Each structure stands twice: as structure tokens, then as C-alpha cells.
Amino acid sequence: MSMIWRNLVGSAALLALAACNQSTPTPAPEPVLDAQPELDIPAWPHGAMVAAADPRAVQAGLDVLAEGGHAVDAAIAVHAVLGLVEPQSSGLGGGAFMLVYLRESGETLVYDGRETAPAAATSELFIKDGEVMGFLPAWQSGRAVGVPGAVALYKAAHDVHGSSEWARLFAPAIELANEGFEVSPRLGGYLANERLRSVMRLDEPGSAAAAYFYPGDSPVAIGTKLQNPAYAEALSEVAALGPPAFYTGPRAQRIVAAVTEDAEPGAMTLDDLRDYTVELRPPLCGDYRNYTICSAPPPSSGGVTQPAIMGLYERIKGVPAGLNQLRDLGHWVNAQRLAYADRDHYVADPDFVPVPAADLINPDYLDARFQDVGDPARAEPPGDPGAVLARGPMIDLWGRDTTEEGGGTTHISIVDLEGNAVSMTATVESPFGNSVLVDGFLLNNELTDFARDPMKNGLPVANAPAGGKRPRSSMSPSFVFASDGELVMVTGSPGGNSIIAYVSKTLIGVLDWQMSAQEAIDLPNVIARGETVGVETSAPDGEIWAEHLRSEGYQVTERAGENSGLNVIVVREDGLEGGSDRRREGVALALAPPEPERELPAPESDN
Ligand code: GLY
């Protein structure tokens, strides 16, 4: 494990990368990578791959990689296109966590571009007239808008890793926005969905969102060629000027106006935008058999939950012979139930509250925690890593979590021609964020990822709102490494708090059940959080799995139309194997390794 993030630990590198606090493009931040000895790294023989939610975005990324671009360059190009063609999931008005793996040094870095509460926010952010606001009114409000992190994240990661020209990365999205893109069945389906229309204000008469998505009060139909010149202009200015084109000046003023003039206004100011920072954090990594699993640390949940689920699963399962999915299902469900309970209780923004993140995946804690598996019909309570590891009990530090989460998110997995990789999950929180369109992009409503009720049983909740705090995320962009440190897998998914279960399914499927990436993605989704176990019975084998879990005593909720959007790359000996979730519209496309340069035969002599 230590190989993966050795240098970051040493530098305690919680380096805050200033997104933008001047009117000129942001200077390159001091690289945090320690000097590396010259290593004799063999050439990467596997080619490159991009797996993401839309083929047009994937192509934009592949084109960047074909020119020799870094995985980070490709991720920016992919995400800029997704903000146009998949606006319901993410965009410039939202945030993201990006894991970057650098093959030459073996390091993994995490760029935290999470949306952030305005400085003036308090724990009462969602308290109105003495009552906790309902989920939907909170969702569709200015109060829910966090300071967006995506553009600052692009720049912070590009400054350190990018090899393509910054402006080039936005060209495919700008072209598509100007020329028009075909509205996909998923986007068109969302817009036509009456239930969604009834709980959102995307079609509010007179709004920019209504003019764009509901011209003449009708949803834009599937297959329509839709132009977004405002988005093209926003991207062109970001391409020319960098983050200042977003975080300062007229665009920042328009964002602040949209938030503060909302019928339910938020407190965002120009200073909040100008002062937004990307945090560079070390990943959290834990071992599962001969593998190391790394994911994003708090305020994300991936780094706590993915290693914890796999570590608990290994301990609960032991070493029975042979493959047997039905036998293992309950072990995986139990591992999920324990890990979700811990994450719900403890994970929040570590810059504001003490989060025992490393303790929650400490092998000594997992050795004790797996023995807590209890009655399958009842919710598992959280464990107490402080008590187990003799650091002092900490379970009563916090009231039980009250957070509810939405699912407007996307995931991008990339391996470049040098073997570097990106695992990036990006979001605007609920589908279409808070429904307010500014300059062709939607504002997020990420702050509803805080617990709206800041107190429970007289105790503060760890994930309560506060000024400058980042809401807890379930996003779990992840890498898997072999014991020699080589990359094995890139994985991640959208899906609100089910993300944790979705991503875990791909780890179990590929690493334990020896499946291909696509086979693992196609498995039924199983979400084991709280009292019930959600099973996707609409998927093949889903009914059998549900019945089996019922027979073991679990309270099973049958679910259909799961919202996973897994995009996975597995490194095999003979190349990269990709998988993309058929529940959405993504693809995984490969780029062959460049032909080795052949020596030309010496010209034959005439004499
Ligand atoms: N908004 C989804 C998440 O951050 O978990």
C-alpha cells in the first residue's frame, strides 16, 4: 500500500491549490511530487482507453490521447463535452473528485474539486421558520448551490500533469456546442418525464433553463440538434483566460445573482467564488488479498468505504474453495452494511470535523469490526474505531446521520498511452442540479449532500453544514493496484449514496468472481444500507439473488431501473478491457499502442 502514496504522506500534502485569486491566468502551483530517482520503467504496451457516459465525450478524450495527451488532458476534454451533452449529470456549475495515477513514480494524487458552502453559511442552512426544509424545496433553491469546483480542478490538475495545450482541450466541446449536438434518449427522456417536471423548476416560465430545454413549453425531443452558444462562449473564455473567466468578472456576477436572487436565496458572494480552492489530498488505500484499493478520502466516501468493504468481505468470507456467487452474496451484503453504517456516522469534511478515516480501514479495526455482523433484519449500528484502537471511544461524538442524497453525477475512467490513469467522478447533485441555467451550464445543488438537520438526539451531526465546508460525497473514483504497484483497474459510478455499492460490485466481480469488466457491471445492483437490502430484480439473476437473500433473513426491497453508470477499465496481460454501464449511454473505447519505430533497412549499394 505504501508504494502508492509514499511521497504524499511524507509531504502531508494537503496543499490548497488556489483556483483563482487574480485577474490573470492562475500560475502553475508548486508541483508537490517529490524528486524521483530515474526508474527503468518498461514502455506501457497496453494502449489507451476512455470509458465515459457518452460516445461523443469519449471520442474527444481519445483524440487528445492519440496526440500524446496525458490522461488528465483527456479527462478535461471528456468532461467539457459531457457538460454539454449530459447536462443532467455534471458540468461547469458543479464539482468533482479526480484521482490521478502517475505510472512513472507510482503515485496516486487526489484533486478535490468539491463544491463548497459559502462563507456565510451556517449549520442552519436548511432550517426555515424553525423547521428543517423538505428535500425537494431545498433541492430547488439558491440555498443548495455550492461554489462550483470543476473549472478550478481542471486548471489545478492540468498545471501539474497536462501535456496538451490548455485551450485545445475545450475545442471539441466548443465546436459541438456551436454546431449543435443530437439530444440523446436519456437526456430527452428526462426532459419529457412528467414526474420530474412536477418536482423541478427546469421549465419555469421565463427562465433561461426553460428557453433552452422547453422551447415553446415543450421538452426538446430526442434526436433534436441542440445548440448552446452560451456554453461555447463560457468555454471559449475559460480556454483563453483560465479560471478567472469563471470565478471573477461578469460570469461570476451572473452566478452570484442567480443564487442570491433565487426565490429561496443562497448566500454566495463574489469573494466565495474568487477564493475557491482545489484541495490536493492523499488517497486512502487498503488491501484486499494481493491487491491495493485506493479511492478519494473525505469529504468523499470512496477511500473509507471501498477498502473497508473489500477488507471486511475478505475477513467475513475467509478462504472457501471455488467460485460461488450465491454463497458470497450475504458476505458482501454484510460487508456493505457495516461499511455504510460507519461512513454514515463518521465521514464529513475533515477540514471541519475529526474524521477517523484511516482508522476505519485500519486492519486491526477491520479484524474487530467484521465480527459485528448482526441480525440481517435490522440495521447495523456504526462501530467505534476509537474504542477498538484504544484511542478513546468516539461513537457519541456525533448524532446519527440525517443526510439524504441525490443522483445527478457521472464517471470517467481513462488510461493514457504512457499507462497513467484518471478516475474522475463529477456531479451537479440532483439531475439538472438546482435547475438554474447560467451561461449555458446548470448550477449544482450539492449542499443538499449536507445533513439538512444539523442535530440528532441533542448531538451535532458530523455532516452538518458550515461556512466554507464541503458536503460529504458518496463518489468513489477508485484504482486497484497489484502487489508490484502496477495498475489493475480503474472504476467509478454515479448514483447518489448507492455509488458505494455500485463501485463495490465491480471490485467484487472483477477481483473475486473473476469476471470481465462488462460482466461485473451487468450484475444486479445490490445496495445494503440500513435495514433493507435493495436488489435490482430487473437485471438477470436479480430475482434469484433477492430470493436467496430473503432466505438468509434480509429484508429485501426489489428495485428496477437502477441508476448506476459504471465506467470501468481493467488492465489485462493482452491489453485494456473496458466496460460501460448499459443502464446509461456510455462506451469504453480503446486506442491501440503506437507502432514501434522500425529501423529502415540500409539502402542497397550500387557497387
Ligand atoms: N452528489 C453525489 C455525491 O457527491 O455523492
Task: Please choose from 98, 409, 445, 500 the residue to mutate so as to test ligand 1's pocket, defined by most ligand atoms within 8 A of CB.
Answer: 409
Q: What is the DSSP letter of 497?
A: G
Nearest atom, ligand 1, residue 301 CA: 5
490 has which bridge partners?
A: 479, 569
Average of per-residue pLDDT across 255-263? 98
pLDDT band with cut points at 50, 70 and 90 for residue 16: very low
pLDDT of the residue at 457: 85
Q: Which residues line ligand 1 (CB under 6 A)?
A: 405, 409, 427, 429, 446, 449, 473-475, 496, 499
**CA nearest 110: which of 505, 588, 476, 570?**
476
Is residue 408's pLDDT more than 90? no
Average of per-residue pLDDT across 120-124? 97
- Among candidate residues 26, 305, 409, 506, the one labeled active-site is 409
Is residue 606's pLDDT more than 70? no
User: In this structure, are residues 559 and 525 in contact, taking their beta carbons and an 8 Å threshold?
Assistant: yes
Q: Each residue of 154-185: pLDDT tens digit?
A: 999 999 999 999 999 999 999 999 999 999 99
Bigger pLDDT: 573 or 11?
A: 573
pLDDT of the residue at 405: 57
Q: Which residue has the cell 469573494?
A: 271
Average of per-residue pLDDT across 466-487? 97
User: In this structure, are residues 461 and 123 in contact, taking their beta carbons and an 8 Å threshold?
Assistant: no
In the residue annotation, 409 being an active-site residue is answered as: yes
Q: Quick one: 298 exposed, middle or buried, by C-beta within 10 A (0-12, 13-18, 19+)?
A: buried
Is residue 602's pLDDT more than 90? no
Is residue 6's pLDDT more than 60? no
The amino acid at 339: A
**CA nearest 311: which of 274, 330, 348, 336?**
336
Q: Give, using CA atoms, the residue closest to atom 1 of ligand 1.
A: 429
Of the given ranges (6-15, 324-333, 585-594), which has the lowest mean pLDDT?
A: 6-15
Nearest atom, ligand 1, residue 429 CA: 1
**CA nearest 431: which of 410, 405, 447, 408?**
408
Of the given ranges (31-45, 102-116, 157-171, 492-506), which has the lowest mean pLDDT?
A: 31-45
Distances (CA, A) of 331 to 296, 320, 556: 24, 12, 15
Round to whole Å and give the CA distance between 36 and 133: 52
Distances (CA, A) of 18 to 249, 460, 511, 552: 17, 31, 38, 52
**284-288 sheet: strands from edge to edge:** 284-288, 291-295, 478-481, 487-491, 567-572, 575-580
Q: Each residue of 339-386: pLDDT tens digit?
A: 999 999 999 999 999 999 999 999 999 999 999 999 999 999 999 999
Average of per-residue pLDDT across 470-476? 97
Round to whole Å and give the CA distance between 494 and 153: 19
Round to whole Å and give the CA distance between 493 and 490: 11
pLDDT averaged over every residue in the chain: 91
Q: What is the DSSP letter of 383?
A: -
pLDDT of the residue at 121: 98
**Full-model pTM:** 0.92
Q: What is the DSSP letter of 103?
A: T
Give residues with Cβ within 8 angstroms of 211, minimum separation 6: none
Distances (CA, A) of 273 to 30, 66, 77, 242, 439: 22, 35, 23, 14, 16
pLDDT of the residue at 604: 57
User: In this structure, are residues 402 and 134 in contact, taking their beta carbons and an 8 Å threshold?
Assistant: no
User: In this structure, are residues 107 and 161 in contact, taking their beta carbons and an 8 Å threshold?
Assistant: no
Nearest atom, ligand 1, residue 449 CA: 1
Round to whole Å and give the CA distance between 574 and 545: 33
**Alpha helices in 380-444, H assignment, sequence order:** 385-388
Give me the percent of the chain exceeding a pLDDT of 90.
85
pLDDT band with cut points at 50, 70 and 90 for residue 441: very high
Q: Give, using CA atoms, the residue closest to atom 4 of ligand 1.
A: 473
Is residue 51's pLDDT more than 90? yes
Round to whole Å and give the CA distance between 563 and 525: 9
Total residue length of the chain: 607
Bigger pLDDT: 22 or 509?
A: 509
pLDDT band with cut points at 50, 70 and 90 for residue 599: low
Q: What angle do CA 516, 521, 524 make, to 5 degrees?
A: 125
Query: 448 CA to middle of ligand 1, Å?
Result: 9
